[in-house]
Chains A and B, each alone.
Chain A
């Protein structure tokens, strides 16, 4: 048992979760109080001691699944499966659909029919059995074949046509409503759909688990954990984030923006002491009988920081740009004075799109479609974009403003106009450059980041949340 736990924690660490020695010991102690047979409780016991951030929960769950739930394809488990399947078939007997244990011999149509019925009645046991059957039948798994679980999942789902099933289910509820003498109101329809979608999602999970279970049996937990290892949310590369990962990232941006706001504001408050505030001192002297015993100073009023974000949204950094726009949106909700500019070879101010809208997606969409950023051919031209920026808005950059430039500095061999960045730096409080490319790619090909970087207060590699966070941290 301790060995398994040791391996488990090792895997968590490799996956990037920070598990300290104390937490390790706590977990060891915790499992003594919880019987291992109780899977759910056991899982939560481990999670409570080892995982201290909700963002890591998914990673933990995957590793746990591989190490504990799916382990031991021993005789005990088989029996379990059998009885599950029996239960499923028994219920089917009642509905007269198929004979017990005969799932293997069903035709695809019959199987689809069974799936439909099971989803309609939320029949969990049958759904489980069906998931197993579907994997056996459609996934075409071969031992030792070096493909990931997603491939098998895709193959299985393609054959099940779940979208079609959903439509059929909806059709059925509509008919039912008609028979009852009425129509589904849109609210009811929506609720029904949500319900079925939830059930189908459950089925999907079941299938996924089944595939993993078989893969683990085939390859062993260590190898499996390795293939399943995904970067933690804070390590996901902006440029290659999937849609789910993007959604997750978005949730984490808000706290980060708040932190940035605090950093920039705090810096100002902790400034020097101001000159003596005579009025205030006199007022306080009254409590000492007119003796000005407690001098009061006029602290410099924390000036409102102004942030100018200038972001490249050309194709080469499109994924990153989407993220930066979200980040700008989050910052805008924290600061009163944020101005956003986007460019490809032309440049346009997009602050107006962020104002008065609550929906970040909508704002991003409007930026991408309405902003006037194309000057000649729609290929990045930093030099021209900066030049226009300087002519149009350069005068508005003041010692209060911090300028954040975002982009990969791939200039398509146009002239760099780096003097503008230099001018900007003289005028603004700070100029930072965030580059979404790995450092090793900098200054290769048409990238001229160091030419600009020479004039910035700092150039930072910013490919994932961790790096962005580090940038925010060091501002303070």
Chain B
């Protein structure tokens, strides 16, 4: 399964971390370690975690860092082979048959069959495209928990062997091993077979220090003081029992809003007024507003 031509993309774990920081993605030890391992072991990474913690962004940032093309397969219920792997361009095939019939009366069935099941008539879909690419690519299979368990099987061949079998053509081997990321929001358990083939990374909400760093890196013009306060308020809110805790992207939105409003520090009134950016359920907003303004006892 190991392809020989693979050159490691990263020197060491700290190198990954610094590189990611260079493209404004603040990784912690775990993230950097797993990415490094994925490269060395040539294994896909399965990223799980709550929504909005930067799962997809990690793949994008890695693509940016390694200067690779990002190929993205968005999963949804009902995704099938022809959307994920490949499809025969049957209109073109039909045309071809028509032309052949007119041109050459003596063409045998075999000739035609060989002719129309050639690469010219193959429509590549994301997975096959990632395999056949000659330039460096990062393959992102987004929200893999949305497809049915049966469809997961489609991915297995490509994930473990980096190849796609097409009955009419044979097996297409990868020319180079792409970095593969799968993300999941954990709405259902993925199959053992899929998990076994991947490295597992759980992305949780960042801790206070990292969240502050993220705000500082992602929101230009924000003061350190404000970023610190934002991170602390968000941490407090996450401790409440809510339907949906604020994600990192919502923290960033909130930081941008506060910046636009010209705030230098968060007052209670301001926090309560802008809560709807952090929280998306009315009941959550009410609860948080109540908690934030009620003196902690």
Q: Provide the A82-114 mask, 1 if CB < 8 A to any CB of B, else 0.
A: 000000000000000000000000000000000
In the complex, A20→B193 CA distance in Å? 10
A29 to B2, CA, bound (A): 13
The answer to whether B99 has its CB under 8 Å from any CB of chain A is no
Supplied contacts A30-B40, A191-B229, 5 more A-B pairs, CB within 8 Å: A29-B41, A47-B200, A48-B45, A186-B293, A255-B188
Q: Given the complex, which residues of B lie within 8 Å of A419, measured CB to CB?
A: none
Kindly report which residue of chain A lies nearest to residue B292, judged by CB atoms: A187
Q: Mark each residue of chain B from 55 to 92: 1 if its CB lies under 8 Å from any CB of chain A, else 0.
A: 00000000000000000000000000000000000000
Within the complex, the shortest CB–CB distance from B261 to chain A, in Å, comes to 16
Tell me which of B29, B187, B202, B281 contacts A258 (CB under 8 A). B187
Give the residue name and chain of the B residue nearest to A23 (CB): B196
A358 vs B29: C-alpha distance when bound (angstroms): 36
B243: Cβ under 8 A from any A Cβ: yes
Picked from B37, B48, B239, the residue with its CB within 8 Å of the CB of A34 is B37
Contact, CB under 8 Å: A255 / B268: no
Within the complex, which residue of A20, A29, A41, A189 is in contact with B33, where a contact is CB–CB below 8 Å?
A41
Q: Does A49 contact B (CB under 8 A)?
A: yes
Q: A187 near B33 (CB under 8 angstroms)?
A: no
Task: Tally A-B pairs: CB < 8 A.
Answer: 111
Residue in B49, B192, B239, B266 whose CB lies within 8 Å of A187? B266
A45 to B41, CA, bound (A): 11
Interface residues of B (CB under 8 A from A): 13, 29-30, 32-34, 36-37, 40-41, 43, 45-46, 48-49, 186-189, 192, 195-202, 208, 229, 232-233, 235-236, 239, 241, 243, 266-268, 271, 281, 283-284, 287, 291-296
Q: Given A34-B37, A186-B294, A361-B241, decide whether A51 and B268 contact each other with a Cβ distance below 8 A.
A: no
**How many whole Å from A124's CB to the nearest CB in chain B?**
12
Say yes or no for A44: interface residue by CB 8 A criterion: yes
Interface pairs (26), CB distance under 8 Å: A20-B192, A23-B196, A26-B41, A30-B41, A33-B40, A33-B41, A34-B36, A34-B37, A41-B32, A47-B200, A48-B37, A48-B201, A52-B195, A54-B186, A54-B202, A185-B267, A185-B268, A186-B293, A187-B233, A187-B292, A187-B293, A190-B296, A193-B296, A195-B232, A255-B187, A255-B188
User: Smallest distance from the beta carbon of B119 to chain A beta carbons, Å?
Assistant: 32
Q: Is the CB of A38 within 8 A of B13?
A: yes
CB nearest to A191 among chain B residues? B232
Q: How far apart are the CA atoms of A186 and B198 in the complex, in Å? A: 47
Do A57 and B202 have beta carbons less than 8 Å apart? yes
A358-B243 contact given A40-B29, A48-B200, A191-B232, CB 8 Å threshold: yes
- Sort A-B residue pairs by CB-CB distance and give the 4 closest, nearest first: A358-B283, A52-B195, A186-B295, A44-B33
Q: State whether the Cβ of A80 lies closer than 8 Å to any Cβ in chain B.
A: no
Q: How far is the CA of A57 from the CA of B200 in the complex (A)?
A: 11
Q: 0/1 per residue, A189-202, Cβ < 8 Å to B?
A: 11101110010000
Q: How far is the CB of A415 from chain B (nearest CB, A)?
A: 43
Question: Across the two chains, which residue of chain B brings its CB closest to A31?
Answer: B37
A interface residue numbers (CB < 8 A to B): 18, 20, 22-23, 26, 29-30, 33-34, 38, 40-41, 44-45, 47-49, 51-54, 57, 185-187, 189-191, 193-195, 198, 255, 258-259, 358-359, 361
Q: Establish whether residues B33 and A48, one from each chain, have CB atoms under 8 Å apart when the complex forms.
A: yes
- Contact (Cβ within 8 A) A189 B296: yes
B281 surroundings in chain A (CB, below 8 A): 358
> Which residues of A have CB within 8 Å of B232?
191, 194-195
Q: Is the CB of A255 within 8 A of B186?
A: yes
- In the bound complex, do residue B188 and residue A44 qualify as a contact, i.e. CB atoms below 8 Å apart? no
A45 with B294: CB separation less than 8 A: no
Is the pair B13, A41 in contact by a Cβ cutoff of 8 Å? yes
Using Cβ atoms and an 8 Å threshold, which residues of chain B touch A38?
13
Q: Which of A34, A190, A359 is the one whose CB lies under 8 Å from B292?
A: A190
Instruction: Tell me the bound Cα distance from A324 to B242 in angstroms.
Output: 20
- Among candidates A23, A29, A48, residue contacting B34 with C-beta atoms closer than 8 Å: A48
Name the residue on B nearest A170 (C-beta).
Answer: B296
B199 close to A258 (CB less than 8 A): no
Q: Is the CB of A44 within 8 A of B34?
A: yes
Nearest CB on A from B115, distance (A): 29
A195 to B268, CA, bound (A): 17
Given contacts A18-B192, A190-B296, A198-B208, contact A45 B33 (CB under 8 A): yes
List chain B residues, Cβ under 8 A from A51: 200
Decide: A359 and B241 in contact? CB cutoff 8 A.
yes
Q: How far is the CB of B239 from chain A (nearest CB, A)?
A: 7
> Once the chains are docked, how many angstroms separate the CA of A38 from the CA of B16?
15
Nearest-CB residue, chain B, relative to A39: B29
Task: Assess whether B268 is in contact with A186, with CB atoms less than 8 Å apart.
Answer: yes
Q: A41-B13, A48-B37 are in contact. Are A186 and B292 (CB under 8 A)?
A: yes
Contact of B199 with A49 in the complex, beta carbons under 8 Å:
yes
A191 & B202 in contact (Cβ 8 Å cutoff): no
Q: Which residues of B contact A47 (CB under 8 A)?
A: 30, 200
Contact call B33/A194, Cβ cutoff below 8 A: no
